[in-house]
Structure 1
Amino acid sequence: MLNTSRRLWNQFFRKARKVNNEPLNKVSLIVLIVVDIFILINVVMGLDDISRWYISPSQAEPCYSQWQNYRTKTTTDKDFEIIKNSFFGIDNPLSQEQIYQQVEERHLGKVSQTCFQYAKYQEQINIPPNQQIIQNIEQKQIQVSQFEQSNSNIRAQYDSTLLEKIAGQSREKSINVVGAEKAKQELDQNNQRISTLKQEITNLKNQLVTKPESMNFLGFLQEDSNFNQVEVNYQQASFWYPSIQLGFQSLFLVPLILVALSIHNFAQRREYGLIALISWHLLVIFFLPLILKIFEFLQVGVLFRFTFDILSTLLGGLLFLISYVYILLIPIVGFGIIQLCQKVILNTKAQAVRRIQDSRCIQCAKKIRTHDTYCPHCGYYQYIECPNCHNLTYKYLSHCHQCGAFQESSHNHA
């Protein structure tokens, strides 16, 4: 296994740095690296775009988070706050319903019909008279903040003016702008104004909340049956979304990998060294993001969520033990992928069979004569001794071509 890994590692770097077994010069290497970076950037951008092609849970159920926040809030102003959030600005040319329609046009999938109904109720609230009420409330809140800031400044000076008065210091020698008596008077006046403004704000809020369109909207929100299916759909979408993303990302990468692999094999057979080199780099660039996305999926996808749910039930509050399980699980999955690559995808014996049939070097795939012992291109020794008849036979093949005996350990003589 170690010898095989070392041989594959050396073969990887030899293919990445040489053209027809000749090393690249520095200028060519720099150009190749620049090309690699450019292609990698475009691959990453393409993966990001295609991963957002399918509609996300928050886009499919856009009203879920607002309804969930409203349901869990315990503040007395929660009715006003949810109504206030229905205002999207006077200058906004698109309604919320039109925004949802644009989401459907730009993505695969559909927006919840309940959320479309939610948007219609918001549109009924978002009218000029109600917008004016919101503006009045905001203006009065700004005034309250100004009076509170003024009081804060006065209190900062009040303590020092009071001390000056106790000490008998004359007003002319005071460093404060306002005297103690006047400061007390201004504080009382400001507090009275603040109290009046807050009462006016409360009245305006009640006026907005009790309007018919607001009452209809709140009634719609408070009817849980309207949102039960939204919640179910959101949870299911959140569960499957990482898997869907991986599927679309694979749909983007796998054709590129197959094309690059086909070109690389074709270039090797025809001995087009530069094309083989570039296609090898492309193959690596396309393959590495796929591996990373698979491991990312294992961390946040269906397998992780399924494992997390089971272990959470079994372990209760000891959730940190899940990390131990995952530390053991990921290497096992990696071992399985390596075994698959060794036996199916990068099978040395199957590769050797094809190259021997085409009269090519087992190591570098260059054309050689039928009875060449060493490859004239890379110097690789093509044969091993048969343990049965002691004649030379090809490496990696299952049987000796002289006596037909089974070569059980032929793959160990790389």
Structure 2
Amino acid sequence: MFARIRRLLSQFFSKSRTINNEPLNKVSLVVIILIDIFILINVFTGLDDISRWYISPNQAYPCYSEWQDYRTKTTKDKDYEIVRLSLPNNAKYQLSLQQNYQQVEVGHLGNASKTCLQYANYKDKINNPEKQQIVKTIDQKQAKITRLEQDDRTIKAQYNSTLLERIAGQDRQESINQVSAEKAKQALEQNNRQISTLNQENSTLKNELLGKPESISFIAFLKDDNQFREVDQGYHQASFWYPTIQLAFQFLFLIPLILIALSVHKFAQARAYGLISLISWHLLVIFFIPLIVKIFEFLQIGAIFEFIFKIISILFGGLLFLISYIYILLIPIIGFGIIQFFQKFVFNAKVQTASRVQKSCCVNCAKKIRHFDTYCPHCGYNQYIECQNCHNLTYKHLSYCKHCGISQDSSNL
């Protein structure tokens, strides 16, 4: 196993830095590395773009977060707060909320939730000049309340200081405070009366706003359990499948590039086009790097992770650290499987040798040679091995002796 891995690594580095079995000069190597970096950056950019082609759960269910917050809140003014969010300050120059929800569909796959579009329609009906003026008045009164409360805190601080001065017997003219205790008390009482009045006025305005037909319809819609359940289930289902969909689109982006690079590399090897073979090999490696990275990312956040997470949660409760154990065992197995796949099907020495022997090419460098050449005149590789049965010379890496037909698998190891 380790000998095979060492041989693969040796072949990998040999292919990456030689042209026709001759080492690259330093300038050419630097140019190749710069090209690799440039292409790799663009590959990752393309993967990022195509992963966003299908709309995300937040885009498909844009109302979910706000709706979920509303249903979990326990504050007294939560109805007013959700209606208040329907009245943005610069709404005059914006598209309607429903149009904003639908805009994500332009140039993307997938559709916004119909329930969320209905949610947006209710909010758009609330958003009109009359209700905007009510909210503006409430905000102005609330700002005045905030200023009065700030004044109260300042006066209370001075009032407490004045009381301490009086207790200490300090003369009024020597006081550092501008407000006497009597005046401070009067100011506090007056401010508190104003605050109480403003709070009452705001309460009336909020009730007026919530009493509008559009607001009543919207609040009733928000409290409909069936409507929210549909959005909640849809959002969680979309979140579950979204990483898998992203990986599928990234595969669609990478697989054609890998197949093209692999075809060009095999063609260049067969025709002994050294530079094309080198560049196509580098492209093949570059296209595989993000593919492997994305697969491992998917294993951390995709449907497989969710499946393992649920099983462990059911069987072992809170012992979620066991997921790490599973991945420690699972990832090497997957890596071994990938190595075996490429060793047996993509870079299989027997398959390559059979093709090269049929074309009278060197079994090592794939350049044309004469059929009776023992050593390749291009790379010096010995084409033959002695058969353990008949002791005649037969081709390396092929399964059977060309003289006696006995299996050569043990001798080719």
Question: For this structure pair, what is the TM-score category when the shorter chain's length is used for normalisation?
Answer: over 0.9
Q: 1:174 and 1:360 mapped to 2: Cα distance?
A: 107
What is the match of residue 143 of structure 1?
144
**SS in structure 2 opposite 1:105?**
coil
Alpha-carbon spacing, 1:10–1:164, altered in 2? closer, same or farther (3 Å): same
Structure 2 counterparts to residues 87-236 of structure 1, below 5 A = 87-88=87-88, 89-236=90-237
Q: Amino acid of the residue matched to residue 3 of structure 2?
A: N
Correspondence 1:82 to 2:76: no
Moved more, 120-129 or 366-375: 366-375
Alpha-carbon spacing, 1:387–1:126, altered in 2? closer, same or farther (3 Å): same
Q: For structure 2, list consecutive stretches of 5 or more residues without a partner in the other structure.
A: none
Alpha-carbon spacing, 1:195–1:404, altered in 2? closer, same or farther (3 Å): same
Q: 2:311 and 2:120 mapped to 1: Cα distance?
A: 38
User: Aligned residues: percent identity?
Assistant: 65
Alpha-carbon spacing, 1:389–1:67, altered in 2? closer, same or farther (3 Å): same
Q: 1:36 and 1:194 mapped to 2: Cα distance?
A: 69
Alpha-carbon spacing, 1:398–1:184, altered in 2? closer, same or farther (3 Å): same
TM-score calculated relative to the size of structure 1: 0.92
What is the match of residue 288 of structure 1?
289
Tell me the alpha carbon deviations over residues 66-112 of structure 1, each in whole angstroms, 9 at most, x when there is no partner. 22222222222111121112224323331111122222222112222
Alpha-carbon spacing, 1:171–1:270, altered in 2? closer, same or farther (3 Å): farther
What is the match of residue 262 of structure 1?
263
**SS in structure 1 opposite 2:385?**
strand
Correspondence 1:67 to 2:67: yes
Q: 1:327 and 1:167 mapped to 2: Cα distance?
A: 74
C-alpha displacement at 1:394, in angstroms? 1.7
> 2:383–2:395: 8 Å Cα contact kept in structure 1?
yes
**SS in structure 1 opposite 2:375?**
coil
What is the match of residue 19 of structure 2?
19
Correspondence 1:32 to 2:32: yes
> 1:384–1:392: 8 Å Cα contact kept in structure 2?
yes
Alpha-carbon spacing, 1:348–1:140, altered in 2? closer, same or farther (3 Å): farther
> 2:17–2:23: 8 Å Cα contact kept in structure 1?
yes
Q: Amino acid of the residue matched to residue 47 of structure 2?
A: L
Moved more, 123-132 or 92-101: 92-101
Q: 2:377 and 2:150 mapped to 1: Cα distance?
A: 89
**SS in structure 2 opposite 1:384?**
strand
Q: 2:7 and 2:353 mapped to 1: Cα distance?
A: 14
Alpha-carbon spacing, 1:183–1:351, altered in 2? closer, same or farther (3 Å): farther
> 1:382–1:394: 8 Å Cα contact kept in structure 2?
yes
Q: 2:174 and 2:22 mapped to 1: Cα distance?
A: 93
C-alpha displacement at 1:174, in angstroms? 3.4
What is the match of residue 400 of structure 1?
401
Tell me the alpha carbon deviations over residues 191-210 of structure 1, each in whole angstroms, 9 at most, x when there is no partner. 33333322222222211111
Q: Amino acid of the residue matched to residue 312 of structure 2?
A: L
Q: 1:362 and 1:180 mapped to 2: Cα distance?
A: 104
Alpha-carbon spacing, 1:394–1:181, altered in 2? closer, same or farther (3 Å): farther
C-alpha displacement at 1:406, in angstroms? 0.7
C-alpha displacement at 1:179, in angstroms? 4.1
What is the match of residue 314 of structure 2?
313
Alpha-carbon spacing, 1:32–1:139, altered in 2? closer, same or farther (3 Å): farther
> 1:398–1:410: 8 Å Cα contact kept in structure 2?
no
Moved more, 166-175 or 197-206: 166-175
Structure 2 counterparts to residues 41-56 of structure 1, below 5 A = 41-56=41-56
C-alpha displacement at 1:263, in angstroms? 1.5
Q: Amino acid of the residue matched to residue 311 of structure 1?
A: I
Q: 2:210 and 2:278 mapped to 1: Cα distance?
A: 70
Q: Amino acid of the residue matched to residue 144 of structure 2?
A: Q
C-alpha displacement at 1:54, in angstroms? 1.1
TM-score calculated relative to the size of structure 2: 0.92
Moved more, 130-139 or 360-369: 360-369
C-alpha displacement at 1:229, in angstroms? 2.6
**SS in structure 1 opposite 2:403?**
coil
What is the match of residue 385 of structure 1?
386
C-alpha displacement at 1:177, in angstroms? 4.1
Q: Amino acid of the residue matched to residue 37 of structure 2?
A: I
> 2:53–2:109: 8 Å Cα contact kept in structure 1?
yes
Q: Amino acid of the residue matched to residue 198 of structure 2?
A: L
Q: 2:119 and 2:286 mapped to 1: Cα distance?
A: 45
Moved more, 321-330 or 390-399: 321-330
> 2:258–2:288: 8 Å Cα contact kept in structure 1?
yes
Moved more, 339-348 or 126-135: 339-348
Q: 2:106 and 2:385 mapped to 1: Cα distance?
A: 64
Alpha-carbon spacing, 1:180–1:33, altered in 2? closer, same or farther (3 Å): farther
What is the match of residue 254 of structure 2?
253
Q: 2:171 and 2:26 mapped to 1: Cα distance?
A: 86
Q: 1:87 and 1:125 mapped to 2: Cα distance?
A: 7
C-alpha displacement at 1:125, in angstroms? 0.2
> 1:122–1:217: 8 Å Cα contact kept in structure 2?
yes
Q: Amino acid of the residue matched to residue 200 of structure 2?
A: Q
Moved more, 122-131 or 386-395: 386-395
Alpha-carbon spacing, 1:85–1:387, altered in 2? closer, same or farther (3 Å): same
C-alpha RMSD of the superposition:
2.1
What is the match of residue 3 of structure 1?
3
C-alpha displacement at 1:288, in angstroms? 0.9
**SS in structure 1 opposite 2:106?**
helix
Correspondence 1:409 to 2:410: yes
